[in-house]
Amino acid sequence: MLRALSLLLAAAAAGSSSAAAPPGTRQLGRSWEGRAIEVVRAGDRSGPQRVLVVGCIHGNECAGTAVTRRLARLGSEAGADLWLLHNLNPDGLAHRTRANARGADLNRDFDTFSQRESRIARTLILRIRPDLTIWFHQPQAVIRAWGRSRAAARRYARIARQPYRSLAWPPGAATRWQNGLGQVAFVVELPPGPLASDSARRHVEAVLRLAER
């Protein structure tokens, strides 16, 4: 199992740098300014768990896309049913802002769903009903969880070699809403700046290890 996982990680790191959309890409909708919001389905569709990974929700905290794109390069080789949403906030990324183009913090909008982007995420989550969801943020370099999601988050933190902290969800957070639905969802806060290759590899490994059970 560990050798097979090592080979998968190497394949993800050495994947093509082509800008072409990988197989399994589907458009979920468009941002306020009309940019496409897409999800990539990869891995084994009959795998033991359905896992959603969101690489970016705040436009100036997008280092997590390095993890989602490595996972996407695994294609059908990954053992889980992976749903990879690289960027829920493409307008924020374009403008280098935390908020979307309307000035809204999407991770405080999952109680009212007043924004187009958070409604797109809600539709996806209610449709696929993930067993596990991981939301990438920056720049605190810590894994955060509360309630039913703490055990999975602690295990992720051990594998990724990052600190763990139990912290109640703020109002309107995506994780608060999902945990209220009975789902397991937690936050991975990456360090500031681009994600180093060895760190990205550890996070890919953590996702795949959690997806095994």
Q: Which two tokens stand for residue 24?
A: 């399994």
The Cα 7–Cα 2 span in angstroms is: 9
Q: Is 68 exposed, middle or buried (0-12, 13-18, 19+ CB in 10 A)?
A: buried
pLDDT at 6: 52
Give the HSE-up count for residue 42: Cα atoms under 13 Å, Cβ half-sphere: 25
Q: What is the pLDDT of residue 4?
A: 45
pLDDT score recorded for residue 28: 98
Q: Tell me, what's the pLDDT at 134? A: 98
- Alpha-carbon distance 88 to 106, whole Å? 9
Q: Determine the pLDDT at residue 78.
A: 73
Residue 10 confidence (pLDDT): 54
Residue 48 is predicted with a pLDDT of 82
Residues, the chain, total? 213
Residue stretches of the chain with pLDDT short of 70: 1-23, 213
Residue pointed to by tokens 């100036």: 60
**Interval 102-117: pLDDT, tens:** 999 999 999 999 999 9
pLDDT given at position 9: 53
Please give the sequence-ordered ranges of beta strands (E in DSSP) within 18-157, or none if there are none: 25-30, 36-43, 50-54, 81-85, 132-137, 142-145
Cα distance between residue 180 and residue 125, in whole Å: 13
CB 137 within 8 A of CB 46: no
* Class of 2-10+22-81+110-211 in CATH: alpha beta
